[in-house]
Structure 1
Amino acid sequence: MSMPRIATSIVGHARTAGVATARRAATAARPACRHQSTFSHSSTSRAAGPPRPLAVSTAAVALGIAAACYYSTLSGPIELEAASDIKTAASLPSLSSPDSHLVIDPDTNQALPLYLPTPASSLPAGTGKLRLVGLGVRTVSFLRVRVYVAAFYVDENRLQQVAAQGGFRGDADSIEKQVQKLIDQGAPCAIRIVPVRSTDFAHLRDGFVRALQGRLKKAIKESTIPSGTAAEETFSRGISEVKEAFPRGSVPKGSALDLVLVPTGKGASLNFEYDGKVFGSVRAGEAEKGFTVARELALAYFSEKGEISTPLKKSVEEGMSKAVGA
């Protein structure tokens, strides 16, 4: 017997048995009709019409949800950034705060130390503790999927020197130029990367490489670095060294990967540290106007346009202003 006839039979029975019996019969019939097209019936049997748009839309939504659930089981839980105004760690402690103080990223609740533990990299004599200036989440795609929290640390002694000199002046009006000035003047710095969902070294490496390639393209376009020169060749070789430096393997959620900028006489070198060990480095080489892989990777987070992390950029702007009166 076809589904329309079953439904008509149920309705006929309901009319003779009463409203209560009809409800019980209709309830029993629903599971059997779950996957059938929507149809109407009355006292005279009519053929089933085309599916209603609502039924089609509901089916499409259900299919989309099912697909999303399936893929989330393959890649692990996806963390989305709330659709609210970007928040920053506006309550960064003062320079006199205790060393053990932790700062919480407001978007992910990830805790980071106010002072970075002593890096494995050899920093110049007289380097102070690396102090947190700002932190923020890195998101990707239009869904704003959270990838990691980035935190920027600077030699505390250098911050105090800049503050004693009245902060940044002249053309250092943007946070990108302020950070560039610190690096060019030989201030040891570090960027700590803490994944908020499990990832791997290859994924992080590819992100760094894309950022460096973008910085090189921008420099050539703005004539900061002439195309086809030794400076471009040196920088491109440095990008290749970044690709080769990263090992295979996973980077669990909550673990820390440090990008340490080590001052040299030719500019800043870059060390990659994980689990307290240096696993890769890129030397400054013959840098053109301080245009090193180390400096440009750091500045990619604070670029005036297309920065890697807007929350980090805003947080560092506020933190720098508090630290040195920028």
Structure 2
Amino acid sequence: MTGPTSRPPRRSALLRATTVVAAVVPLCTAGWFGWRALDDSGPAGASAAASPGAVVSTSQAPGTPMAPPAGSTPTGATPTGTPTETSTPTAETPTPETPTAAPPADLTGRTIVLDPGHNPGNFAHPTEINRQVDIGNAHKECDTTGTETDAGYTEADYTLDVTRRARALLTARGAKVVFTQDGDRPWGPCVDERARAGADAHADVAVSVHGDGGPASGSGFHVIMPARVVAGKADNSAIVEPSHRLGLLLRDRFHAATGEPYADYVADEGLDTRSDLGGLNLSAVPKVFIECGNMRNSADARRMTDPQWRQQAAQGIADALTAFLTTH
């Protein structure tokens, strides 16, 4: 704010011109340096380490390797052509908004399921992942391979990296974090098993993390919330309302942390409500999906392959879950 208005003493024209030039030059210079400093596919078709002892996996096939170190990719999982990561944001990277306030950080006694979409090994198991499973109102594939960027960075590798980073943040706040898979099984799990993970873990909440394979001309992120489904083995009536509250929090916190715009190919301000996803139809705990960006779009792909941006994505997810668990 400025102080009370007052009339300054008169100055000569030469003195006023000199003052204007002296004021404008530093401002332009500062502005130039500021600019230099910025910089089911998805469920429809479709790394930071946790504290020691914090990893809990819902299942692991006998004889399969344990999860790789944080930030690494399971051996043989990533197709040839995966780009070398760089921590330098590009000029296209949106400027994250400054969060208004950090959410409360005590999640002691709370349990969260994180569901990294797809699995790096799904490519080698087409028979298993194409098996049809009952999602209540339909039958769908057990799982899919997911999408990837033009350079070959897969959705499955992206989701594992971001969820591991989110796990580290959440366990530091006292939460118990359960993964549906942590690169520790050869394929899957199926969507119905992923949905059961929340109930099996007696979790308070669950989030499934994805990268979308939308039209190449489209960009941005969106959150998918459950429609009410009461059909066959599905009855998610009890979770629809809290899941929608979680979806709004996740949209707002993810946008604040990353600066990523709402998807311009989804109609409702970064929100979508669906009844065709087994992971939502069959869940017994509040759950949403997040499509963190469109991996088929070149600008989104540049952001999603940047580890610094992926840390911001994990921050937005962790902050939304924290807000959900501490404000009701």
Do Structure 1 and Structure 2 share a fold, with TM-score over 0.5?
no
Higher strand share: 1
TM-score under structure 2 length normalisation: 0.25
TM-score under structure 1 length normalisation: 0.25
Of structures 1 and 2, the one with the larger relative CO (CA 8 A, separation 6+) is 2
